[in-house]
Chains A and B, each alone.
Chain A
């Protein structure tokens, strides 16, 4: 029982860090309700916590509970003072009022509950199983925990924790934190962080859709998101693909909300979450660039001047880099080998033309004719046809742009980098596609709602 209590503490700690920052960024109660604040706080707080741990490691300070807590107190001091002095909302409890559930609501809620049960059970019944999980993420977490540092010395038994050392270490460090609180290396209990990420995604997605469609359809849409077999499977294994997808999706959803409600708080939140995406996986960076295009598109459509665009992008980039920069510096200072799989081969711009049909063929097969995504991609096509005349509408155009640019980024990745090999052997396309799926289901949902409402 003691270990579960410790686990609870380990999970609550990043939540508290996140809550302080979320309350500072979103000070008014009406900006966000309690569940949504908790979800975003977990995502944000875990990112801040691991950057703190990285900084400790960079400066050669031992990564242990005492040092982490002391640094955290230092980091949250100013925001906490601001939250207290401005009487900002920490958790605004939503007034629910009498809720009358119809049969579809009950069905959707039941199915979501079953999925959450499945994810929690599968995470906690067994230790780390998958190869990349134990050979990279989990091995590094174990090394950091046992060494009490980042193993960046040339004399380290396993330099930088081993595995693919160029992978960012947000997830390994979050696991290291959990090991520290548990006091032991337990690669089963540490997996408790993954259901929390999954639940955070469901909550943030639900509120994003609810603002447009209301309760019933938002619950149904959240259920649709939880039907994607590959997404559910990735919530039960210890990989980072879903985690980076969650950060990017929440970043996009808050960016759309920032434009819709003209609220800078959501804009900052989007930048911070996008930044943590770049700190979770190398792919985070190119996909974060998509947000810049969205900002540009918005300023174009909303007739904003160039100054608006430049200021926004600069602010966005600066906030995101809070999370990316320390890791980039660590890579340079300690000469961590670069990711050869993402080396762009511009000289093969024309020579690789024969890759294009293969790339499109793989997209066609994997998106439509495997069990990875249920029939979501087919429904996307149906929705595009049936809502074609409404796609210019900003609330549709921006998420559709994100989907198109993510796909373009995949094509670019496979066309001009050695990652093409991973496309051919079937290892990465579906894992990359996880990044698109929450936004794709969001786009489908808001269109479905209009089609069902209007006819």
Chain B
């Protein structure tokens, strides 16, 4: 009997998955911007991201009913771990793509295929007829391989999978984490809302049940307190296990990035772009204890990092050296001013990264 029951449940499970698989296979993607080397081998679309928002677009005559097709499934492999992907959509009447009509999701560990399930219905603008999609597979430079991008009808498990995908999305520690941690967000709303609602509803049920048992409001309230507290603690522990999962992922990620590396390599890995090798270059060329003027991009991070790594070489008005870190070539005006004041080429690491001397 038990075996038949198990078999029945298994069949139901398989059927449910089958129901979940009514889908539209999206093909014919073309590069839009920030993408190079796009090619298709077999069923895999390969491309190289050359910007922080690489974009590929679908045909512009999709005419998909947003109500019936709202689950996006993407199978892809990207070179970088834990980046952010984004799907943009355009409806009949929309002239352009916009961030409002888009949904982002966090990607998993790099260099391996993952299937992502995104509930596009989470966007308040996902309605009507969708004419075109645009997809940004990552938010960094790197390589991408896309197995498929499919749109699926909401099935028995698509909502669940979307929920689980939200629940277990990895909030990778960043510089801003020192100030706040978002925590899991389901359909864009903090999971704490759901937990508080559940605790409140269940607490009311507990108190009512206790009242029916004792027929005394005060003792019903007091008698329920232990169960309510246990309920709170259960959710507290569940949330903590969820946090522990992210901490475990952080350990794996950091071990991947920093494990077995020298201190200099670790410092390089914690510094934006190729700034650290340039600072190391400056340290080797400028006599220790000299003064410098830094010409860096306006983000204060670079000046602070340079002061930190270069000391006892220090920053000073009218310093002996000008250290120029201009990867985007946007500081030409400032550099010209210093050249006019008599600073001349002293040492160069590469284009946009060099030292001038009085």
Contacts and interface: CB of A to CB of B under 8 A. Distances in A.
Contact of B311 (A115, A139, A366, A428): A139
B32 interface: no
A125 to B, nearest CB: 5
B346 interface: no
Interface residues of A, number: 61
A233 B183 contact: no
B243 interface: yes
Nearest to A447: B229
Contact of A130 (B178, B228, B258): B178
Given A132-B178, A162-B307, A378-B199, A224 B236 contact: yes
19 contacts: A118-B250, A126-B254, A129-B175, A130-B175, A131-B304, A132-B178, A138-B308, A142-B311, A157-B289, A157-B311, A157-B316, A158-B311, A227-B240, A371-B182, A371-B190, A372-B180, A378-B192, A382-B232, A386-B225
Contacts of A54: none
A233 B173 CA distance: 9
Contact of A431 (B178, B240, B289): B178
Contacts of B226: 451-452, 454-455
A382 B308 CA distance: 47
Contacts of A227: 236-237, 239-240, 243
Q: How extensive is the interface on chain B, given as a class? A: 35 or more
A232 interface: yes
A453 B243 CA distance: 29
Nearest to B267: A127
A126 B270 contact: yes
Interface of A: 111, 114-115, 118, 121-122, 125-132, 134-135, 138-139, 142-143, 146-147, 157-158, 162, 186-188, 224, 227, 229-230, 232-234, 237, 239, 366, 368-372, 374-376, 378-379, 382-383, 386, 426-428, 430-431, 448, 451-452, 454-455
Contacts of B251: 118, 121-122
A135 B229 contact: no
B235 A375 contact: yes
A131 B250 CA distance: 19
B180 A366 contact: yes
Contact of A382 (B228, B237, B259, B311): B228
User: Main SS of chain A's interface residues?
Assistant: helix
A188 B267 CA distance: 9
B110 interface: no
Contacts of A378: 192, 195-196, 199, 232
Contacts of B195: 375, 378
B240 A118 contact: no
Contacts of A126: 254, 257-258, 266, 269-270
Contact of B254 (A111, A122, A379, A451): A122
B258 A158 contact: no
A143 B311 contact: yes
A271 to B, nearest CB: 30
B244 interface: yes
Given A232-B247, A455-B222, A455-B223, A135 B304 contact: yes
A188 B263 contact: yes
B229 A368 contact: no
